Structure 1
Amino acid sequence: MSDNNETNVDLRSLNFIETINSNLICCICQSPFVDPVVLPCGHTFCTICIHQACEASPVCPIDRSTISITDIRPAVKIVCNMVNELIVQCPRSEEGCEHEGQRQYIENHVKNDCLYTFASCQLEECKALVLKKDLSSHVSTCKHRPAECKMCKKKMRALELEDHHRLCPAEIIQCPHCDTSRSRSEHTSHLLTCPKHPIPCKHSDFGCRWSGEREKLESEHLKSCSYEGIKDYLLLQQQKEQSLRDEVQSVRKENEILKRQQSNLSQQFQTLSDQLALLLPSQFGADLTCPEEAAAMGLGPAESILTETQRLKNDLETVSSNLASLELKQNVALMTETFRLQEELQSLRAICHGMRMQMHYIIMERRGASAAAAAASMNAAETGASSSSTDGNVATAGSVASLNRLRWLGLIDGPSGRQDTKL
Structure 2
Amino acid sequence: MPPPNTPEEGLIATTATLALRPLMSGDPTATTLDLRALEYEDSVDENLICPICRVPFISPVITNCDHVFCHRCIVQAHALNPVCPVDRLPLKLVSETRPAPKIVHNQLDNLSVKCPNSSRGCDLIVSRSLVENHVARYCDKTLVPCPHPSCNKSVIRKDIGKGCLHYDVKCEYCEQVRQKADLEEHQDTECPNRKTECALCNIEYVRHKQEEHSKECPEAQTSCKFALFGCEQLVKRWQLEDHALKCAYRVVGPVGEQLAELRAELNTLQERDRLKDRRIKFLENRGFPLPTPTSSEPMSDINLPENSSTHEDSAPYESRDQYFLSLFEAMESKVERLSTALNEVEGRHSMMLFNESSQIKDQLTEIRSTMGVLGMHVRWLMNFRLQERGRAGTSSPAMPNSFSGNQANIIDDNISRRMIVNLREHPPRL
Tell whether the structures are fold-level matches, with TM greater than 0.5. Answer: no
**TM-score where L is the length of structure 2:** 0.30
Which has the larger helix fraction?
A: 1
Which one has the largest radius of gyration? 1
